[in-house]
């Protein structure tokens, strides 16, 4: 979309585009999070891969994923609050 097309959009259309972009960014962030959690927790917890997970492996993976999710949620919440404050200043 070029600048002329963008300028001719209504505010509702611009808002719809922004919501679509935000949803796509959120999806990409979740995919990246899942990829990182899988990679990091597997490397940390699975020392000798086999056909099944032992109870200590399962516990390690569960705790690792919980820590990642807690950190991700905290970071997301702080980032969202910061964006809201900056929007309030505009």
User: Domain residues of the chain, as ranges?
Assistant: 12-89
Instruction: Report which of residues 9 and 79 the model is more confident about.
Output: 79
Distance CA 68, CA 70 (A): 5
Q: What is the pLDDT of residues 80-89, one digit of tens each?
A: 899 888 888 7
Q: What is the C-alpha to C-alpha distance for residues 35 and 29, in angstroms, rounded to an integer?
A: 10
Instruction: For residue 26, name the pLDDT band (cuts at 50, 70, 90).
Output: confident
Determine how many CB atoms are found less than 10 A away from the CB of residue 41: 19
Q: Under a CB-based contact definition with an 8 Å cutoff, are residues 63 and 82 in contact?
A: no
At residue 27, does pLDDT exceed 70?
A: yes
| CB of 56 closer than 8 Å to CB of 47 | no
Look at residue 90 in the predicted model and tell me its pLDDT: 67
Question: 11 or 61, which is more confident?
Answer: 61
Q: Could you tell me the pTM of the whole model?
A: 0.61
CATH of domain 12-89: 1.10.287.810
Q: What is the DSSP letter of 52?
A: S
């Amino acid at each position: 979309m070029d600048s002329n097309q963008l300028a001719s959009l209504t505010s509702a259309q611009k808002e719809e585009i922004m919501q679509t972009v935000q949803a796509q960014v959120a999806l990409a962030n979740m995919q990246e999070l899942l990829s990182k959690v899988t990679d990091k927790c597997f490397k940390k917890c699975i020392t000798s891969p086999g056909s099944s997970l032992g109870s200590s492996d399962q516990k390690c993976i569960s705790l690792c994923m919980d820590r990642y999710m807690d950190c991700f949620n905290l970071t997301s919440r702080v980032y969202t609050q910061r964006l809201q404050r900056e929007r309030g200043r505009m």
